[in-house]
Structure 1
Amino acid sequence: MVKMGTRILLTSALVAAPLAAQAQEDVTAGFAIALSGFVAPYDDGPYKAAKLAIEDINAKGGLLGRKIVDVVADTASDPAQGATAATDVLSKGAELVMVTCDFDFGAPAAVVAQSQNKIAFSSCAADAKFGVQGIGPDAYTMATATNHQGAILAEYAWKELGKRSVYILNDLQVEYNKSLCANFETRWRELAGGEGVAGYDEYNAGNDTVISAQVSRMKEAESKADVIMFCGAINGGSYVRQIRAAGIDLPMITGESMDGTYWLEAIPDLKDFYNLTYGSIYGDDPDARVNDFVARYTKTYGEAPVTGHALTGYGVIEAWALAVERAGTFDTDAVRAKLDSFNEENLLVGKTTFTSELHINNSRPMTIIKIDGGKPASVGSFNAEKTPEIKF
């Protein structure tokens, strides 16, 4: 009886051993993102691009010899579901959690990853609070900070467009908009002085579907301004349409939140509209690598990325894999140390630098898209000579 029991135990162990070895061959990347709801257009491209990066790494033998597999959980564009989604992918063994492309919508998931000492990467949350100060030392974002985005837009409007007086319209629903407008205004006032702001107004997309009062005030100030800075994101096309429908035809500049064409049906003949992006999705980016990526993405998924944010998703996997390779381990503390030593790493999304105190980039060039006659096209890559300091 004793010998038979021993034989059974040994046989069970021998059967279990290959299974354990097989499990060791894989490493899991988790995605707690919006697959549905109004935030989905911002997460769709980064997620699909991240899967392409995983495919590239696996084709070369994996990461530290282990195949990367992915697990995903839908936040349904609800911040309250972010923690649940992160818990789900972490319970499935995720060593990395990529979260939504926004501080407000991505932070809840990142906080859960931080609590379990796992690296959390937002694809493109551009508020500098997404990092050590706002979440914890395991939180990073592949975005370019709104400090630098605002500075690029201010200098582009001043130097390239020759504008001298701006009217600012700010959507207060998300931190990105508030931070973008604040940093734009800081840099703009340095260039144009106090007389360079013809007016300022705000709304909240969470409550205000119609902004007729704001549009009326903008119309009254139109003669004093020669450009509009629009800090909008969610349902942004509706607000742009309301402005144009009032006969306000001033050029408009805006951040990367308005990239893509998915919202253009509301204003099919839109003109004199400029937005930032991480890279053109129209095949005309100044960087040939970006155009090659867009072509591959289009071939794989049957359509181009919805926005240039897709590049940041590829960059998340690129950055994490590079740090893991340099660390020689998946241990979070070791990987974090390597991420914090990044110095202008040449990733697809652009030169990437992190420090132990700053987990966002604040110096990258960005592509600017001009929409004329409803047709978007790249006008080139631009950088800022001076960027407002990041303050917490």
Structure 2
Amino acid sequence: MQRRTVLKQFALAGAMLAVSAAWLPGAHAQETIKVGILHSLSGTMAISETSLKDVALMTIEEINANGGVLGRKLEPVVVDPASDWPMFADKARELLSQHKVAAVFGCWTSVSRKSVLPVFKELNGLLFYPVQYEGEELERNVFYTGAAPNQQAIPAVEYLMSEDGGQARRFVLLGTDYVYPRTTNRILRAFLHSKGVKDEDIEEIYTPFGHADYQTIVANIKRFAAGGRTAVVSTINGDSNVPFYRELGNAGLKATDVPVVAFSVGEEELRGVDTKPLVGHLAAWNYFQSIKNPVNDAFIEKWRAYAKARNLPNAGTVVTNDPMEATYIGIHMWKQAVEQAGTTDVDKVIEAVGGQTFEAPSGFTVQMDKTNHHLHKPVYIGEIRGDGQFNVVWKTDGPIRAQPWSPFIPGNEGKQNL
């Protein structure tokens, strides 16, 4: 009898210990794998970045529903750097040091990415960056799932100069005043020089983040265009795109007069604009929602169902876009690399990410380059339709290997590899 009582006491003590252990601060962290989501949910960039946060959460939910990663659920940690570039670095440090995330998916502008790079290098963190950018960078701790200049900017300008694109010979390079537009336009100016375009036929204009008055700028574009076949290359970012495109419509500047090709305007940004006056203007991306294939159909349907289930703003009219696809690809490639490596250890995962492939909604199987940490991607140029979608007017035959270091910038020879 005494022995039985002692055994019961041991069993009771063990049960109580197990219950208390479940409430220990570290217990939940051991059961899940934390991943960071670093996007502006307020401020001037929220118009573009909020949907990337949401599609990241959708992807994580999808992965968890299919068994998680290494048999463990993913736990997203969402932070809001609020379109404040120094705060991006603070929030990146918080994710890596306090939350101990295994990887971070985020940033949009290059100034935000440049802000966090020292933190990721110092703490040996892992960042997946999902947006087109200016190149001239290659970091061990970053995987770039957006486009390099040869996967977006250069093909777009080549198209504008072609017969199908209107044979433009004069160019307005219009952008937000920060590193991505200025570096991209430096590359484009050198490229245009190589095609015989003179400096007097190139106009560069920059506006601050959040700029809203484009009346004078659009009037100046119309005057510049009087000198010959002219096109506008727009690297405007964030919510400034809404007043810019509105002013184009107000001024009656049609695509048949002066075509505008944008690198940072997609389906999401056009949701806030009356697109009927903008029909025929262009965007260059690596994905459009309007692309028809079974993988994209499934991707769109998943996103619409997720938006409806989570009661997201304007859930009935949500759209997909290029950076959303790049986010989706990046998270899945990280998952595949972790499972291949058998661990979330950053050094081992970095080795495993190179060479990963994924059947993308763009209609192609894309691959992460083994040496330069950039995604091989197809290139599409689309015309704006009245419903805010795009008709593809030009595309590559398949994925293009990124050139992080532009050959048009002196001194970049031989810089393609890590």
Q: TM-score, normalised by structure 1?
A: 0.83
Distance in 2 (alpha carbons) for counterparts of 1:366 and 1:266: 26
| Gap regions ≥5 residues in structure 2 | 1-9, 309-314
Q: Distance in 1 between matches of 2:268 and 2:74?
A: 32
The amino acid of 2:208's aligned partner reads A
Which residue of the other structure, out of 168, 172, 175, is the alignment partner of 1:171?
Answer: 175
- Cα distance in 1, alignment partners of residues 49 and 110 from structure 2: 13
1:29 matches 2:35: yes
- Aligned residues with identical type, % of pairs: 19
1:200 equivalent in structure 2 = 203
Q: Which residue of 2 aligns with 1:379?
A: 392
Post-superposition offset of 1:104: 1.0
CA distance in 1, matches of 2:242, 2:50: 19
CA distance in 1, matches of 2:131, 2:200: 29
The alpha-carbon deviation at position 28 of structure 1 amounts to: 0.8
Query: CA 1:130–1:64 in 2, change beyond 3 Å: closer, same or farther?
Result: farther
1:332-386 per-position Cα deviation (integer Å, ceiling 9, x unaligned): 10001112x3265544466132344x2333x521333312446433225613999
Counterpart for residue 248 of structure 1: 253
Letter in 2 for 1:30: G
Aligned match for 2:369, one of 354, 358, 361? 354
Counterparts of 2:165 and 2:53, CA distance in 1: 35
CA contact 2:174–2:204 (8 Å) conserved in 1: yes
Distance 1:47 1:270, change over 3 A: same
SS in 1 for 2:42: coil
In structure 1, the gaps of 5 or more residues are: 1-6
Q: CA RMSD in A?
A: 3.4
Question: 2:284 is matched by which residue type in structure 1?
Answer: L
Residue 332 of structure 2 corresponds to residue 325 of structure 1: no
User: Aligned partners of 1:164, 1:23: CA distance in 2, in Å?
Assistant: 57
The equivalent position to 1:181 in structure 2, one of 156, 181, 185, is 185
Q: Structure 1 residues 55, 86: CA separation in 2 closer, same or farther (over 3 Å shift)?
A: same
| Contact 1:201 1:214 (C-alpha < 8 Å) held by counterparts | no
Q: Are 2:227 and 1:221 equivalent residues in the alignment? A: no
Mapped to 2, the partners of 1:26 and 1:381 lie a distance apart of 44
Post-superposition offset of 1:269: 2.1
Give the equivalent residue in structure 1 for 2:150. 147
Q: Distance in 1 between matches of 2:115 and 2:81?
A: 10
Which residue of structure 1 aligns with residue 102 of structure 2? 95
Alignment-mate amino acid for residue 384 of structure 2: I
Residue 68 of structure 1 aligns to a residue whose secondary structure is strand
Q: Deviations over 1:231-250 (max 9, x none)?
A: 32230232233345444332
The 8 Å contact of residues 55 and 328 in structure 2, kept in 1 or not, is answered as yes
Provide the rounded CA distance (Å) in 2 between the counterparts of 1:229 and 1:158.
12
Measured at CA, do residues 63 and 92 of structure 1 come closer, stay the same or move farther in structure 2, by a change above 3 Å?
Answer: same
| 1:338 alignment partner in structure 2 | 352
| Distance change (3 Å), C-alpha of 1:71 and 1:240 | same
Name the TM-score, length of structure 2 as normaliser. Answer: 0.78
- For the residue of structure 1 that corresponds to 2:389, the secondary structure is strand
Partner of 2:5: none
Question: 2: distance between equivalents of 1:70 and 1:268?
Answer: 39
- CA offset at residue 169 of structure 1? 2.5
